[in-house]
Amino acid sequence: MRTSSTLRGILENFFRQELGHEGLDGPAVVNAFRVFLRELGVPLGHGAPVHAHVYFDAGSYSAAEALRRDFAAAFSSLCQVGPLGPASGPHPLGNFEVGFELEMRAEIVEYLKQHRGSLSVLIHEVRGDDVNDHTRGIEWLGAPLDLDLSAFAS
């Protein structure tokens, strides 16, 4: 198909020139396409099917700030990295949220495992049911926190 080979050529050129990488195999094709769309101004990450919340308190703010900065440098072209924010909703501590696609989960979780230090991280899929999204099939890195599920009451 001519269209896909043309698009692949455009992506390979963009990937090589703008990002300094050679070749597009497997997940690199998807990632290059996301970078390409982001460069065109297409928002990515909003409504992403997986969220990670990295929690901090006053004593760990600097560590969270450094992790957010380094994480954004490594992944901001592939996912949404939110700002450091105060405790809100069900989240009992300040946190920053990362939104990403399911196929990025293993890579993102591995990065967070290696770089989170003592920060707690909640990872959950977004399926449209806030209570279940934050309680079923979740993964904690570090100490789990008690979420305030009453925040989801209508």
Count, residues in the chain:
154
Residues with Cβ within 8 Å of residue 45, at least 6 apart in sequence: 79, 80, 99, 100
Rounded mean pLDDT, 7-23:
62
Report yes or no: 105 and 50 within 8 Å, Cβ to Cβ.
yes
| Contact status, residue 99 vs residue 79, Cβ threshold 8 Å | yes
What is the pLDDT at residue 27?
Answer: 47
Task: Answer yes or no: is pLDDT of 110 > 90.
Answer: yes
When pLDDT is cut at 50, 70 and 90, the band that residue 150 belongs to is very high
Q: Give CA separation, 81 vs 9, 21, 135, in Å.
A: 29, 23, 22
Q: Which domains does the chain have, with CATH numbers?
A: 2-39 (no CATH), 50-152 (3.30.70.1240)
Higher per-residue pLDDT: 50 or 4: 50
- What's the pLDDT score for residue 46? 44
